[in-house]
Amino acid sequence: MTDNKITNLDDWKKLQNDYIVRATAANGTVRAFAAYTKKMVSEAKETHHTSPVATAALGRLLTAGAMMGVMLKGDGDLLTMTIKGDGPLAGETVTANANGEVKGFVYNPDVWIPLKRAGKLDVGGAVGRGTLTVIRDQGMREPYSSQVELQTGEIADDLTYYFVTSEQVPSSVGLGVLVDTDQTVRQAGGFIIQLMPGVEDETIDKLEANLKNVNSVTDMLEKGMTPEEILESLIGNLGMEILDTLPTSFKCNCSRERVSKVLLSLGEKELQEMIDEGKPAELKCHFCEKTYTFSVEEMKTILQAAKVTRLSRHNIIDIDS
């Protein structure tokens, strides 16, 4: 392995931690990502108490989010993907940053629908028809936002379609979450292979042949294949070069301060009503289910801050006009 960002990578792997491998091939005309995400998906399942099909739906989007997050350029950049569908799951949201930190939730975690076929969870059936929205928040610049129609609701297909139509980058996306009979996460991972400008026809032919030879991602993971080995099977004969290996994990960065801003955003009238009720307010973070309680006294302080902010804004306008 060449330059990797985890100094004690072997130790990291022994702990069965999640990680992403980034590679290129065919003189840079192919770029590739593969990820092992069992821990992240297990944590999401434990946090949100998802049914098996909801675990698979969330796990697939989390895995894609992890890989797409590390495609971001800057440290403060943020990727948000939202799927909205007319199926019983209703939808899901995943957010990822460039450091491999990912979080997400499904709108209805308690979905129970028949299997698509023996051993195959019906993620497409749970999601239904709808849209996939991808937003990339890139610091100072205007956020980039794009929406596509869901193709199958199986997520990998939808992302493949998104990459080619919205980003004009032909891609192959494979995502797999295998839920065990006891509902725990047995395997989770995925890959994204992308064709860059200048790619030769011969490279595309070889890649297509390689893709035909591989089974599902969960099959590869069940065989014990690592992300490196998955990439080897997909682009190994195209002059693959592994660029780096990055840790990835389920992580929420919510805090009292951030949540208090949500209270503030409710507006003065609503805040006053909550204060008048005389009961503490409870706000739950959708991403990690952590509950924040604000006492009446704290709400009064927040309301006061809101008023001061409004007044100071008025003053600025007065001075300007």
HEC sequence for the chain: CCCCCCCCHHHHHHCCCCEEEEEEECCCCEEEEEEECHHHHHHHHHHHCCCHHHHHHHHHHHHHHHHHHCCCCCCCCEEEEEEEECCCCCEEEEEEECCCEEEEEECCCCCCCCCCECCECCHHHHHCCEEEEEEEECCCCCCEEEEEECCCCCCHHHHHHHHHHHCCCCEEEEEEEEECCCCCEEEEEEEEEEECCCCCHHHHHHHHHHHHHCCCHHHHHHCCCCHHHHHHHHHHHHCCEEEEEEECEECCCCCHHHHHHHHHHCCHHHHHHHHHHCCCEEEECCCCCCEEEECHHHHHHHHHHHHHHHHHHHHHHHHHC
Residue number with CB closer to Zn ion (254 or 266): 254
Residues 221-260: x where in contact with Zn ion by CB under 5 A, - otherwise, as a string: -------------------------------x-x------
Applying CB under 5 A, which part among 153-161, 198-206, 232-240, 279-287 lies near Zn ion? 279-287
Structure token pair of residue 129: 């028809």
| Tokens 């704290």, residue located | 298
| Minimum gap (Å) between residue 103 Cβ and Zn ion | 7
State the minimum distance, in angstroms, from the CB of residue 259 to Zn ion: 8
Residue 46 CB, shortest distance to Zn ion, in Å, is 14
Minimum Å gap between C-beta 253 and Zn ion is: 7
Q: Does 199 bind Zn ion (CB under 5 A)?
A: no
Nearest to Zn ion of 253, 295 (CB atom):
253
CB of 81 to Zn ion, least distance (A): 17
CB nearer Zn ion, residue 242 or residue 259: 259
C-beta closer to Zn ion: residue 256 or 307:
256
Inter-residue contact 247 to 26 (CB < 8 Å): no
Identify residues 283-302 at the interface with Zn ion (CB under 5 A): 285, 287-288, 290
Cβ atoms of residues 114 and 106 within 8 Å? no
Query: Looking at beta carbons only, is 147 or 291 nearer to Zn ion?
Result: 291
Residue recorded with tokens 């894609």: 64
Q: Minimum Å distance from CB 132 to Zn ion?
A: 23
* Of 41, 52, 19, 232, nearest in space to 125 by CA: 52
Q: Which of 222, 195, 188 is nearest to 52 (CA)?
A: 188
**Residue 87 CB, nearest approach to Zn ion (Å):** 26
Contacts with Zn ion: how many residues (CB under 5 A)?
A: 6
Give the distance, in angstroms, between the CA of residue 110 and the centroid of all CA atoms in the same chain: 20
In the bound state with Zn ion, the residue whose beta carbon lies nearer, of 26 and 102, is 102
Pick the closer one to Zn ion by CB: 33 or 105. 105
Report in angstroms how near the CB of residue 201 gets to Zn ion at its nearest: 47
Taking the least distance from each CB to Zn ion, the nearer of 32 and 285 is 285
Nearer to Zn ion, 258 or 314 (CB): 258
Contacts with Zn ion, residue ranges (CB under 5 A)? 252, 254, 285, 287-288, 290
